[in-house]
Structures are given as C-alpha cells and as structure tokens.
Structure 1
C-alpha cells in the first residue's frame, strides 16, 4: 500500500504565505515552497501541477478566507432575499456597514501575513496563466462581494441607487478601499495596526455613508 503524502495542501500553502509575505509573490516557487515547508519537491508537485496552480491556490485561499468573514457581516441584514425599500432596516444596514469596515481591519490584525498578500492583486500572482477553473473561482468570489455591496447601497438609498450613481462607488470606498488603505499603510511600514484602527475604519465608513441615508417622509 502506498504511503500517504506527509504534507497536505494547507501546509504547503502556509509555507507559500510566509515566502510571499517576506519577499513578494516572485519568491513563491515550487522549490522554495518545498524548502520552506521542509518537504520533498515531489510533495509540492503532487499537490500542485505547476507554479501557476500553486500561485492561484495561494491567492484564492487567502481571498476566500477573507471573504467568508467579510460576507458574514452582511448576512444578518441582506440574507438571501433583500427588500431594499424597507426603511425600517436602514439602521441595521448602517450597523452592518460599520461591522464590514471593522471586519477588514480585524481580519488583517488576526492574519497579518495573509493580509500582506492582499496588498498585491491577482495579476501579481499570475492570473493570466491560471486555469479557467481558477479564474472562475476568483470571479465568483468577487461577484458575491460586489452583489452584497450593491444590495447594501440599494438599501441605503431607499432601493433607488440609479438616482445616485455614486452609491455603489461610495459603499465600495467606505467598506473596502478605505479600510484596506488604513491596513496597507501600517503593514507596508512593518508596523502593527494601532489599537484605534477598527474604530477609525467604522467612523470613516459611517461618515461617508451618512449621505446615502434617505430622509423619512
């Protein structure tokens, strides 16, 4: 009976995370991952047919872990069926927005190495060479996040975001780009996130989205 491989995919990807965090995506090669994991090269090729698959799985695992926690913040308000006209849920939507902005910082604080990977983009991890399956997985994850952000924008603009073409753009800025820029500034400086980072992300999101909240009749 053949002996089962000693190193599973997660162990090898954990080693790849350390390499990418320390020296960027270019440092993630099949041989470097094997050496970092203390594994024979055959173990890496057993799990990943080539470097493009390794980079794709590294990026997708990191993004998926981030997105699962991020999307959980939307579930209580949006659920599976959203009725964006119900003004009674706007207070909940505002709280959801604060939690989503906070989640970006909290996750980055708890997973600094993986957060450092998200300072790059899929192109840095060779998306052009990914398989169709890997590209589809990335696109599906991104679409889930975009749909949640668009639904929240609809809710905060009384179900009529077309009257405010900047609604979705404002939500993306408030709940993704601003929190990530806060994280990026400290991680790139090799510094820990300050204690006030989560609160600052919440306050910025709340202030930016306040203009979307429609007035009650």
Structure 2
C-alpha cells in the first residue's frame, strides 16, 4: 500500500502565496516553496512540472477563489444598486480576510508568467475572467449603462475603486481601517447615482 503524501498541493500553494506576498512572484521558486514547507524538491516536481506551472496554479487558485465569491455577490441580488454596493464591499472584505492573496492580486497574471502557461491554465484564466466581465456587463445594463463611458463608470465603481481603497494598505503591510467597506460603498453609490 502506497504511503500518503506528506505534503499536499494546497500546503505547497499556501507557501507559494506567502512567498509571493512577501517577495513578489520572483520569490516563488520550486526550491523556495519546498524549503518553506520542509518538503523534498521531488514533492514539488511530483505536483508541478516546472516553475511556470507552479506560478500558474498560485495565480489561478487565488483568482478563482476571489472570483467565486465576487460572482455570487454580483449576481445574488435582484436590485442592481444593492448588488453593486455589495460587490464593492466584497472586494474590500475579501482583501481584509485574505491579505496575502490580496497582495498577490496586486500583481497581474503576466507577472506570474502568463505568456508561458499551458493551454489548460490559459483556458481556466480566460473562462474566469470572461464570467466576471459578463456579470459586470449584465449588472451595468441593469444599472442603465448603455454606452462606453457608463460601462467604464461601472468598472471604476466595482473594480478599480475598491482595489484603490485597499492597495495603499496592502503595499504598506498595514491593516485596512474599519471604515474601508463603508467608504467604498459610499463612493460606489455616488459614482452610480
């Protein structure tokens, strides 16, 4: 009977997230992750064929976890204004609860070697991004956003603004203030009035 693995994929990816949050994507190497969890390097290559696959999985797991909740909030309210306010609050709350992952998301897929990802990794990324964009467009239409400027305002209110509220604190390594969600919701409400 085969012995169960001592280190599972989530443990390795958790370590990779911490390394990316503290040192950027460049800090995520096969040997650094193995060392961080005390695993032999063979454990890394058993799960990831190389560093590019590791980087893709770190990025995708983080983004997919965020997108799952964000999509639920975007589509979970019948009232589009309530959905918009909830979505802007969600971004801040998720970042508060997941500071390492949120710091990682301040980079972009390109920083995690997107140009060299496998077809499967690229497909996963595109699928998630397209789902979020489609939900934002539907919500924008429900809010009356019919032209490019109005759609840009929705994106500003639901994506750019909440990230701006958290970015300064994440980069400085400081806690988000208790009023961050309220401030974000007030700004979103004003932009979409």
What TM-score, normalized to structure 1?
0.87
Q: Secondary structure at the match of 2:174?
A: coil
For residues 84-115 of structure 1, the C-alpha deviation after alignment (integer angstroms, 9 at most, x for no partner) is xxxxx6xx110110000000000000000100
Equivalent runs, 1:24-63 vs 2, <5 Å: 24-63=24-63
- Number of residue-to-residue matches in the alignment: 193
Note the C-alpha offset of 1:169: 1.1
Which residue of the partner structure matches residue 123 of structure 1?
A: 110
For residues 92-150 of structure 1, the C-alpha deviation after alignment (integer angstroms, 9 at most, x for no partner) is 11011000000000000000010000010000000011001101100100001000110
What TM-score, normalized to structure 2?
0.97
For residues 151-192 of structure 1, the C-alpha deviation after alignment (integer angstroms, 9 at most, x for no partner) is 0111111xx71xx32122111110011100111111111211
Distance 1:49 1:178 in 2: 38
**Where do 5+ consecutive residues of structure 1 fail to align?**
78-88, 211-217
Which residue of the partner structure matches residue 136 of structure 1?
A: 123
Equivalent runs, 1:25-174 vs 2, <5 Å: 25-77=25-77, 92-157=79-144, 161=146, 164-174=147-157
Note the C-alpha offset of 1:193: 0.3
Equivalent runs, 1:187-206 vs 2, <5 Å: 187-206=170-189
Distance 1:209 1:93 in 2: 10
**Where do 5+ consecutive residues of structure 2 fail to align?**
none
Q: Secondary structure at the match of 1:136?
A: helix
Greater CA radius of gyration, 1 or 2?
Answer: 1
